[in-house]
Structure 1
Amino acid sequence: MPELDTLDPSQPATPSAELPLSPGARRPNPAEAAPRPASDPGDSLSADLRGLDALQTETRTSRPWWRRLVDGALPPIVLLALLIAAWQAYTLIAQPRPDLSPGPLDVAAALGQSWEDGRLQVAVTTSLERGILGFLIAIAIGTPLGLLLAESRLLRRAFGPLLSGLQVLPSVAWVPAAIIWFGLSDATVYFVVLMGAVPSIANGLVAGIAQVPPQLRRVGTVLGASRWQLATTVIVPAALPGYLAGLKQGWAFSWRSLMAAEIIAFGGTIGFGLGSMLQQSRDLADLAGALGTILVILAIGVVIELLVFAPIERGLLRRRGLTGAGA
């Protein structure tokens, strides 16, 4: 019987990878044989977040400033031209009494006469100066007041209804009292403007802060922000859309209050504004001049909206992804 070969314990065993392979067999790849590591949940979450960001990110095309200005101003200009054309057509066809229904040419002639006299320039300058200065003072008063009411529940419950009532109250109602208190002076006009604008600005800020998610407050507190830092760097920036709406409404109330005060408080040391010019046209039964002054007051309001508030609002909403890039 043939003797079997015995293994020498002193010699190392031959690894299986080095054993001779049968014909047609393939040597295994160690990389394929090694187990694959489990996918990292953090990488998957990052990929998902990047996908969500890509869905929420809008493709923005940069447009020159003049193109944005034309796109915003052209539609109202075209509409105004059509209204003036319809007005002129009515005047030519119906031929009403010029003293009761003046046409666009009569109104333009009245404005041209006011421009030659210098009254129009003085009135526009005086009213704009009062309106802008009064609005800035209203912002300086209404913003801290709105922050205080928004952060203090007790004060908001106590003063909130009063502030809303002041906002509903027509600002022209303050004119007689302001004349008694301050006389026929510019202080009367500024007082009426403030009483019309401050409640709107404060209420707008309170409404904007009420819509801020509470998670932002918690994150700011966890990061160690003080009460002042939390209000100025977290709460107010998050409440900017509501605050901007309050500012727009505050400007509208201040401009209307200014016109009402200038119409009623006429004379004395009060300067000559657009309201005074409108009252003067009424005293002279000059309907063309009155309509021309009304159009100037309307045009100033439209220009302020198009050149100041509308670009700020579009930029704010676009940065937050709330409007399209072409808006």
Structure 2
Amino acid sequence: MFYLILIAIWELAYKIGVDWLRLWKPYIFPSPIAVFTTLWSLIIDGTMSIAVLASAKRIFLGYMLSITIGIFVGLAIVRFKYLDENVSPLILGLQTLPSICWLPFSILWYGLNESAIIFVITIGSTFAVSIAIESGMKNINPLFVRAAKTMGAKGFSLYWNVIIPASLPSIISGLKQGWSFAWRALMAGEMISATKGLGQVLMVGRDLADISQVMAIMIVIVILGVAVDKLIFGRMEINIRQKWGLDKA
């Protein structure tokens, strides 16, 4: 019902601004009917399915790489004090860079191809994952570590059985944030060099001055992002809360 109300407000704003007061042109502010008609046509002719599959493949590869690298870097920072003192501020600074800043590097190093897009996705998400691993492990209850050490846990066993499980809520939040950064990086990369994908379809709409297509793709991007968050990260967070007794089963 909430979203139907939003669509009704959107349609009302279109009627008032375009049809009645003529404050702007239809190609500047489209109606929801035009947007959903364009979206349906993209689905019918297969453009949407091809774009979604291409984007899904890229983000899967890039995000998996970022998780692998981010976990390794985060664990190294926690384990070695020298890296913690010197590398942590650098990673935090790099995290503030927008993903689009890495596009010139990706194009110069890899050219206009898939590798360039995957690089942007990976670099855009890795630092968020690393920071989450570091923060999660540093902020666990020190009593857990002390209790484990008194029972003989040390080295890998201490990390695997105590530190990592205790920091899982923060780690999952970091993976969730890393996903959002990877999704943004994907769109940035595809708008520059992709031959197919959601970003490329978005750019086609811009080049043709088809604001309905632009907004249709934006809606799809939002829906996919929310769906992944709810179906994957949302369930992971619920399971963790239930395991730690923070939520009702």
* TM-score past 0.5 threshold: yes
Residue of structure 1 aligned with 2:10, choices 87, 96, 113 = 87
Q: State the partner residue of 1:317.
A: 241
- 1 or 2, which has the higher helix percentage? 2
Contact 1:186 1:271 in 2 (8 A): no
Q: State the partner residue of 1:228.
A: 156
Q: State the partner residue of 2:64.
A: 136
Aligned pairs for 1:272-311 (under 5 A) are 272-311=196-235
Paired with 2:79 and 2:166, the residues of 1 have a C-alpha distance of: 14
TM-score computed with the length of structure 2 as normaliser: 0.93
Q: State the partner residue of 1:239.
A: 167
Contact 1:166 1:195 in 2 (8 A): no
Residue of structure 2 aligned with 1:114, choices 42, 57, 77 = 42
Cα offset for 1:271? Answer: 4.2
> Which amino acid in the other structure matches residue 129 of structure 1?
K
- Match status 1:154 vs 2:82: yes
Cα offset for 1:305? Answer: 1.3
Paired with 1:188 and 1:142, the residues of 2 have a C-alpha distance of: 19
Paired with 2:103 and 2:188, the residues of 1 have a C-alpha distance of: 8
Q: Which is further off, 133-142 or 165-174?
A: 133-142
In structure 2, the CA distance between the partners of 1:307 and 1:178, relative to structure 1 (3 Å rule), is same
Paired with 2:15 and 2:60, the residues of 1 have a C-alpha distance of: 40
Q: Which is further off, 285-294 or 128-137?
A: 128-137
Paired with 2:240 and 2:145, the residues of 1 have a C-alpha distance of: 21
Paired with 2:59 and 2:2, the residues of 1 have a C-alpha distance of: 27
> Which amino acid in the other structure matches residue 106 of structure 1?
A
Which consecutive unaligned segments of at least 5 residues does structure 1 have?
1-77
Contact 1:149 1:160 in 2 (8 A): yes
- The count of residues paired between Structure 1 and Structure 2 equals 244
Contact 1:135 1:254 in 2 (8 A): yes
Identity of aligned residues (%): 35
> Which amino acid in the other structure matches residue 151 of structure 1?
R
Contact 1:126 1:271 in 2 (8 A): no
Aligned pairs for 1:10-159 (under 5 A) are 78-94=1-17, 95=19, 97-159=25-87
Q: Structure 1 segments of 4 or more deviating over 3 A?
A: none
Paired with 1:312 and 1:271, the residues of 2 have a C-alpha distance of: 34
TM-score computed with the length of structure 1 as normaliser: 0.71
Paired with 1:285 and 1:157, the residues of 2 have a C-alpha distance of: 50
Q: State the partner residue of 1:217.
A: 145
Q: State the partner residue of 1:188.
A: 116
Q: State the partner residue of 2:131.
A: 203
Paired with 2:211 and 2:40, the residues of 1 have a C-alpha distance of: 15
The Cα offsets for residues 5-40 of structure 1, whole Å up to 9 and x where unpaired, read as xxxxxxxxxxxxxxxxxxxxxxxxxxxxxxxxxxxx
> Which amino acid in the other structure matches residue 296 of structure 1?
V
Cα offset for 1:199? Answer: 0.4
Paired with 2:205 and 2:190, the residues of 1 have a C-alpha distance of: 13
Cα offset for 1:218? Answer: 2.3
The Cα offsets for residues 184-206 of structure 1, whole Å up to 9 and x where unpaired, read as 11110111111111100010011
> Which amino acid in the other structure matches residue 290 of structure 1?
V
Of structures 1 and 2, the larger Rg is shown by: 1
